């Protein structure tokens, strides 16, 4: 039954059916088989699960963070920051690529939505990088990889969903947000250093802007431009993350504060009007509905799967195999990585977390550290061919002449850097656990 349920799910996804309804349909089919076609009992189980899901106060943060992202996207905060960093960093080899990493890191800490980051930077930065002679593959890799930082650097929708799935104190939204700060910054630092080294070794990959263009502004003007464009998003980050880490607000309350702050930023940039509010609200409604339908379908699937003993089967296979616990961890991470090539991150979370989290805890891994390893791993799902979402977001806004092969070739080094960051988290788990321990206690 366990094998048949997974095989049916994979087949249905491969046929192109909508993921949320596929999860729910497979759960219904195997739930009926497992309970002897007792429809009322299955319906009652599903109804109780949906009721429990919709009563989860933590999940209220999802539409608020999405609204914050939509308002920031339309307020053009990232445009002003890129334009100032274009002048500041453009004069060094790979400088424009470094500017993209910095902007995406700041944007990630204010939005948490990959699509918004990749599309915004794809439209804004790609023409600038290509016109200055950047290699197509390097340009695609920089924008796609940097854009995915939004799913890891808090506030992150993925971590809100993760916390709602586990229900553990150790993996609360606050702990996950605090635990993700250093891994996210380390990954951004890897991208920064890699671009700098590659472009210094081979300047044709990312040449600097001309000396005349770099000398257009004085040092004082460059600093003023940068601070003026960087200060508003930093204040918003402090308002959201600062209130959570200080214990002043819950993540849900901080999300409301962030949405309000994004509205103020849009007003300061003279971008706040009825059309922007309407478009932001409608986009928030669509995205929230998609996430919650996935949540419901995934909840049905995991409930039936665990109820018929599928979780025990997987646990027995891994724990009973006699493998070292690090090999078991490697198997679990490999499964998540491979699933990321074909399935959306939300579905992977909904299917794997209820199965893998108890196994990780049973073999002695810290739940917060394991959760962060999962989140870093899931970031690769946006970049790994053939169905990495960031790749298609970028291709959709890329200039003429770009092929999917350019994009695929460009992301390979950045996927390898993500894998290296996972190895570093395994070697130094305190990178994840130190800040949550400091802020919230052990």
Structure tokens belonging to residue 145: 């990889």
How far is residue 17 from each of residues 5, 84, 86, measured CA to CA in Å?
Answer: 16, 44, 43
**2 within 8 A of 314, measured Cβ to Cβ:** yes
**428 within 8 A of 372, measured Cβ to Cβ:** no
Looking at residue 112, its pLDDT comes to: 65
In sequence order, which residues have a C-beta less than 8 Å from that of residue 58 and are 6 or more positions away?
160, 163, 164, 173, 251, 252
In sequence order, which residues have a C-beta less than 8 Å from that of residue 295 and are 6 or more positions away?
53, 59, 161, 164, 346, 350
Looking at residue 323, its pLDDT comes to: 79
How far is residue 295 from each of residues 103, 276, 329, measured CA to CA in Å?
Answer: 31, 28, 25
Looking at residue 116, its pLDDT comes to: 65
Closest CA to 339 of 359, 326, 322, 356: 356
Length of the chain: 442
**411 within 8 A of 141, measured Cβ to Cβ:** yes
Closest CA to 85 of 209, 191, 181: 209
Closest CA to 211 of 92, 314, 298, 38: 92
* Residue carrying the six token digits 């996804």: 13
3-state secondary structure of 250: coil
Looking at residue 368, its pLDDT comes to: 92
Looking at residue 213, its pLDDT comes to: 66
Query: Rounded to the nearest 5 degrees, what angle is found at the Cα of 151, between the Cα atoms of 329 and 246?
Result: 95
Other beta carbons less than 10 A from residue 342's beta carbon:
16
- Alpha-carbon span 141 to 178, nearest angstrom: 27
Average pLDDT for consecutive 10-residue bins of the chain (442 residues)? Answer: 80 77 85 81 82 78 82 74 76 84 82 69 80 86 87 82 81 88 92 92 83 70 76 81 80 84 84 86 85 80 77 73 85 87 77 86 90 90 78 79 84 92 93 87 64
Looking at residue 419, its pLDDT comes to: 92
Looking at residue 115, its pLDDT comes to: 65
**363 within 8 A of 330, measured Cβ to Cβ:** no
**106 within 8 A of 80, measured Cβ to Cβ:** no
């Amino acid at each position: 039954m366990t094998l048949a349920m997974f095989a049916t799910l994979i087949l249905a996804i491969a046929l192109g059916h909508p993921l949320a309804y596929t999860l729910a349909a497979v759960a219904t089919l195997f739930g009926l088989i497992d309970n002897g076609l007792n429809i009322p009992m299955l319906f009652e189980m599903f109804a109780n699960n949906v009721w429990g899901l919709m009563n989860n106060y933590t999940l209220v943060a999802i539409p608020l963070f999405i609204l914050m992202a939509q308002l920031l996207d339309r307020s053009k905060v990232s445009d002003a920051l890129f334009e100032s960093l274009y002048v500041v960093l453009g004069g060094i080899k790979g400088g424009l690529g470094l500017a993209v990493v910095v902007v995406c890191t700041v944007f990630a800490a204010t939005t948490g939505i990959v699509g918004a980051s990749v599309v915004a930077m794809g439209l804004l930065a790609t023409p600038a990088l290509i016109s200055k002679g950047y290699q197509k593959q390097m340009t695609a890799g920089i924008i796609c990889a940097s854009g995915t930082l939004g799913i890891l650097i808090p506030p992150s929708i993925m971590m809100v969903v993760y916390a709602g799935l586990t229900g553990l104190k150790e993996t609360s939204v606050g702990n996950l947000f605090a635990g993700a700060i250093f891994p996210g910054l380390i990954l951004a630092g890897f991208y920064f250093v890699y671009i700098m080294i590659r472009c210094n070794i081979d300047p044709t990959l990312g040449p600097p802007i001309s000396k005349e263009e770099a000398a257009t502004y004085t040092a004082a003007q460059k600093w003023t431009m940068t601070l003026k464009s960087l200060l508003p998003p930093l204040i918003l980050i402090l308002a959201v993350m600062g209130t959570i880490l200080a214990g002043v607000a819950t993540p849900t309350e901080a999300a409301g504060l962030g949405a309000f702050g994004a509205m103020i930023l849009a007003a300061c940039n003279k971008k706040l009007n009825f059309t922007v509010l309407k478009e932001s609200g409608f986009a928030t409604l669509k995205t929230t509905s998609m996430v919650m339908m996935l949540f419901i379908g995934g909840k049905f699937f995991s409930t039936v799967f665990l109820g018929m003993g599928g979780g025990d089967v997987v646990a027995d296979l891994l724990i009973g195999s006699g493998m070292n616990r690090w090999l078991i961890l490697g198997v679990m991470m490999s499964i998540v990585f491979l699933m990321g090539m074909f399935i959306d991150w939300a579905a992977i979370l909904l299917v794997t977390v209820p199965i893998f989290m108890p196994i990780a805890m049973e073999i002695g891994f810290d739940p917060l550290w394991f959760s962060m390893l999962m989140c870093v791993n899931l970031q690769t799902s946006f970049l790994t061919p053939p169905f990495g979402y960031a790749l298609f977001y970028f291709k959709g806004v890329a200039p003429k002449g770009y092929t999917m092969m350019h994009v695929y070739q460009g992301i390979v080094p950045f996927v390898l850097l993500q894998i290296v960051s996972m190895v570093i988290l395994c070697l130094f788990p305190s990178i994840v656990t130190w800040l949550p321990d400091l802020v919230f206690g052990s």
